[in-house]
Amino acid sequence: MKFDKPAGTNPIDQMKVIGKPLDRIEGPLKTTGTAKYAYEYNELNKGHAYGYVVGAAIGKGRIDSINQYAAKNAPGVLAIVTYENAGPLQKGKFYADKLLAGPDIDHYHQAVAVIVAETFEQARSAAALLKITYTRVKGSFDLEAVKDSAITPQAGQFGPPPQTELGDFEGAFATAAVKLDETYTTPDQSHAMMEPHAAFARWNGDKLTCWCSIQQLNWGVRDLANVLGIPKENVRLISSFIGGGFGGKGTVLSDIVAASLGARAAGRPVKLTLQRPLIFNNTTHRPATIQRIRIGAATDGTITAIGHESWSGNIAGGRTESATAPTRSLYAGANRMSHLRLAVLDLAEGNAMRAPGEASGMMALEIAMDEMAEKLKIDPVEFRIHNDTQVDPSNPTRNFSTRQLVKCLRDGAEKFNWKRRQAIPGSIREGKWLIGIGVASAIRGAPITKSAARVRLDKEGMITVETDMTDIGTGSYTIIGQTAAEMMGVNIEKVIVKLGDSAFPESSGSGGQWGAASSTSGVYAACVKLRESVARSFGFDPEKTEFSDGKVHSGNRSVALGDAAKTGDLFAEDEMTYGELSKQYAQDTFGAHFVEVAVNMYTCEIRVRRMLAVCQAGRILNPKSARSQVVGAMTMGVGAALMEDLVVDKSRGFFVNHDLAGYKVPVHADIPYQEVILLDDVDPTMSPMKAKGIGELGLVGVAAAIANAVYNATGVRVRDYPITLDKLLDTIKINA
């Protein structure tokens, strides 16, 4: 099915199942511990062995020698794989990193060997006996130091154009009545998902099956086949449940490659998980940025010039962090400029992490907007509203498909009691605590991509859905089940959902905030075909047939849905593809974040006290799981604002705090009451579902709202994340 014109009325609009806050249908499996994750498929892999990955001990250089004698003769060791015996290996199509290194080393903890043994303990013990000698060479580990060598990258498949200009930015900025020119920095950050990267690999002749933890199975099949040099048809990936990804499990990384190579060398199934201290330097992360933002405005608050430049670093061949993306679309302004620059760094690869580009870009842009509002002596909410636009500011001939940013800001301000905020910092005190309130807008693109599904009807009236879509904790099982139930006129209990197997039809996968809207649209397309087959089986006109309450209705006739499959199950398979609507309309999601913080006037300890997110993201398929996505994203935003920081050893080239003891993330005690408002919205330009994604929208802007609240409490403007108390202690001037 091709979607090439705005959707009209269709069965999804009945909203009998879609739009209801149903519990997750896989919830009982997770709460009882019976949901199987990648590392847990022991019963399907009898006689399995254990793999253990060894990471490079230098940040840049070359392997001189690998002495395997002691390790190879250690108890239980079955195989040792290094670049010397792995055979020719290529890179995948998405990540730039080599997933088994040697002899050249590109970054610290890059995988250099995998040990396979009878037990995990034996594999780990043998890994310590592997003697590797290196020659270290000078590497590049400091973004600030190499900033001037950064170049404008080539345009790629993901992210905004590297360099854009509309009007005369430099001229308009130079003549603006009120100007802001500030630099902001964001640090390297880790996905730090709950489930480590893990894989279970088994060969059957030249056929490879991997139980793994990746978000995009279609990419995974492509990339693993490419790395190993085998046909795609020989690769099957299964990823039924994923314990968090946030973009860090987009496709194949070293865990899957190591397990596959180890299983081939040992002649047995191999299970492997990356140890937590290895993950931070071995896998991907959100790269640090240096961002310069310039805004010029008239005295009435109208933005006349807005420019955003961002510098980031990556390994050779890696992508830039597209931090300028939100500035291109969020606010009006006739004269505009954006510029991305990329430097080579010899650290672990920087790549997609929840809301790549927008998350880091909004950390800067939304502080700048507050600073500009203060210069203009305009309320920060009103300044944002004053510069709203209903056309894409980067392409004024293109309208937004739907845009309710003003409503997000207005409704949020009323709900949060924004009028309590005082413009003069430090004006509100409660004992030893300084109280501040902050706001930030939110924008995240709403991409959608082709996705396929297979549906089956049996004589009991049960609907089975199969698609290789993954569930990374987002609720994919449930919204896909709700879609099939709505389309076929049955209760959710009559739907069985099977996900995460590359043998199923190829879906959109989970990532980029496209998964929910795309995968359900593929199910919609398959169900349209199944509805046609059912109608014809009864001699009904498909255009005049209705499905409800487990029955099929046409004119005066009504028959049980399952009767269509009395003589055999009915199958239908289709995919949803798209025309040019995404070029005709700017398709985005919008929101507003409001935060209240308390800062101890003596110790500068920061406590987040209240949080509110108002989100506009098309039709909400399941309000309960959508709210959960936003609450989780808001929590991640607290971490980005106040604590998350991968500290670089700039002499040796590695992230020092590479475990969850040193890399701080929010815990329950850090998180206050969080409220989420989901605006009513449908977007017929997206798909027949009229839905968009929401999981990344809930993050963008949160950190800046916290930064703005800290400033409102203390009068200290921190432009260097994370906002830690040491950055307040020396500059706070509140008279205690």
Q: Of the candidates 152, 148, 169, 449, which has an alpha carbon nearest to the alpha carbon of residue 327?
A: 169
Write down how long the chain is: 736
- Residue 717 CB contacts under 8 Å (≥ 6 apart), including other chains: 367, 371, 711
Copy the structure tokens of residue 590.
């919008």
Cβ–Cβ under 8 Å, residues 706 and 441: no
- Catalytic residue, candidates 309, 358, 366, 696: 696
Positive or negative, the CA dihedral 40, 41, 46, 52 is negative
CA distance 527 to 151: 48
CB of 140 within 8 A of CB of 91?
no
Tokens of 144: 């600030």
Q: Distance between CA 569 and CA 533 in Å, rounded?
A: 11
Give me the amino acid identity at 679.
Answer: L
Residue 472 vs residues 13, 18, 271: alpha-carbon distances, Å: 27, 20, 20
Residues 6+ apart with CB under 8 A from 546: 489, 552, 553, 554
Q: Are 614 and 416 in contact (CB under 8 A)?
A: no
Under 8 Å between Cβ of 654 and 109: yes
Neighbours of 731 (CB within 10 A): 12
Report the alpha-carbon distance of residue 556 to residue 515 in Å, rounded.
40
Enumerate residues 6+ apart whose C-beta is below 8 A from 666: 635, 636, 638, 639, 642, 643
532 is an active site residue: no
- Spatial separation of the C-alpha atoms in residues 108 and 283, rounded to whole Å: 11
CB-based contacts of 69, cutoff 8 Å, min separation 6: none
Per DSSP, the three-state class of 656 is coil
* CA dist 285 → 152, 305, 376 (Å): 21, 33, 37
CB neighbour burial string for 174-187, b if at least 16 within 10 angstroms, e if fewer: eebebbbebebbbb
Distance CA 100, CA 695 (A): 32
Measured CA to CA, the distance from residue 608 to residue 692 in angstroms comes to 29
Report how far residue 235's alpha carbon sits from residue 214's, in angstroms, rounded to the nearest whole number: 14
User: Other CB atoms closer than 10 Å to residue 234's CB: what's the count?
Assistant: 17
Which residue bears the tokens 């499996």? 29
Distances (CA, A) of 529 to 158, 393, 451, 499, 578: 33, 40, 15, 20, 17
374 φ, ψ to 5°? -65, -45
Single-letter amino acid code for the residue at 236: R
Instruction: Kindly list the distances between the CA atom of residue 21 and the CA atoms of 17, 18, 482, in Å, as whole numbers in the listed order.
Output: 9, 9, 10
Non-local (6+) Cβ contacts of 521 within 8 A are 3, 448, 451, 576, 687, 688, 689
Cβ partners under 8 Å of residue 270, min gap 6: 48, 49, 50, 51, 116, 200, 201, 202, 259, 262, 263
Q: Which residues are registered as beta bridge partners of 579? A: none
8 A C-beta contact, residue 100 and residue 229: no
Give the CA radius of gyration of the chain.
Answer: 27
720 near 185, Cβ under 8 Å?
yes
Structure tokens at 317: 């061949």
Known catalytic residues? Answer: 696
